[in-house]
Chains A and B, each alone.
Chain A
Amino acid sequence: MVPLSWYLGLSALLFTIGAVGVFIKRNAITIFLSIELMLNAVNLTFVSLSGFFGDVGGQLFVFIVMTVAAAEAAVGLAIIISIFRNRESLNVDEVDTLKL
């Protein structure tokens, strides 16, 4: 049988790859994809702990996380469309009007 720590380790690794993507990528859409990757890494933790404890609560939480991810994708992509329309670019280094 596969130990629980393997699943948690894989989840940590995927989360790290997603976090690195947020830091090193400069295209807004790729940063968004990395955030989705981090959400999925957390989902894997929820599902594995749900399976190992025999509790359905973790899987319900994954269900809610997926709904929030869908809402986040809809709003985030709308923001990206509106940024692209105003600036003709998705490079996050150029979208720094809020910076002092």
Chain B
Amino acid sequence: MGQEKVLFIVFAVIAIASALNILLQRNPLYSALSLIGTLLALSALYVTLRAEFIAAVQIVVYAGAIMVLFIFVIMLLNVPKDQPQVEKQKGLRYLAIPFAGLMIAEMFYVLRPIRLSTLPPVPSGNAEQAVGTTWSIGTSLFTDYLLPFEVTSVLILMAVVGAMVLARREGD
């Protein structure tokens, strides 16, 4: 087994274990910390896919900024622990298993034709301008994808205003 497969399996196991831990924890703070574990494992997988810029942004923006916001709110609200589930419709549980089997079979059917395709070799040429570097992302972002980039800034502005309006106390 090649070195890359070992790396993939290690980080995939970390990602799945942290993702399952999100569901198993009753305290939302521990769930948030588990999600950070998944984000870091995914960032490592992005490096194996030669997406270095996205891997760095994943850590800086996602694991840094967004998760800090989550943890800040969890600590601000002093959220109570999740209570054990009260199952209302027990019959649905037995319906879930055949549907899950159907979905898995569908996934294997879809993935079958691409089972053996692997990452193309590194193209020869200037390594600084390969797909996935800051150069290639920045060049595309400010030429072909300029309109989505500008629309994003409007979206962020709306989110800032919306968050301020929603979180404001009545009567201020």
Contact = CB atoms under 8 A, between A and B. Distances in A.
Interface of A: 1-10, 12-14, 16-18, 20-21, 24-27, 29-30, 32-34, 36-37, 40, 43-44, 47-48, 50-52, 54-57, 59-60, 62-64, 66-75, 77-82, 84-85, 89-91
Interface residues of B, number: 74
B49 A47 contact: yes
B98 to A, nearest CB: 16
Given A30-B22, A44-B46, 15 more contacts: A29-B74, A33-B35, A34-B22, A36-B66, A37-B22, A47-B54, A51-B119, A52-B120, A60-B140, A69-B66, A70-B159, A71-B158, A74-B163, A75-B162, A77-B69
A51 to B, nearest CB: 4
Contacts of A30: 22, 28, 31, 82
A7 B45 contact: yes
A62 B80 contact: no
B73 A77 contact: yes
Interface string B103-124: 1000100010011111110010
A43 B46 CA distance: 10
B137 A59 contact: yes
Nearest to A29: B28
Interface of B: 2, 4-5, 8, 12, 15-16, 19-20, 22-23, 28, 31-32, 35, 38-39, 42, 45-46, 48-51, 53-54, 57-58, 61-62, 65-66, 69-70, 73-74, 76-77, 79-80, 82-83, 85, 103, 107, 111, 114-120, 123, 131-132, 136-137, 140-141, 145, 148, 152, 155-156, 158-160, 162-164, 166-167, 169
Nearest to B86: A93
B28 to A, nearest CB: 4
A3 B141 CA distance: 29
Contacts of B159: 70-72, 74-75
A10 B103 CA distance: 15
A73 B19 contact: no
B49 A48 contact: yes
A81 B2 CA distance: 49
Nearest to B55: A47
Contacts of B50: 51
A64 B148 contact: yes
A98 B69 CA distance: 27
Given A1-B2, A84-B77, A90-B77, A59 B54 contact: yes
Contacts of A51: 49-51, 119, 131-132
A13 B152 contact: no
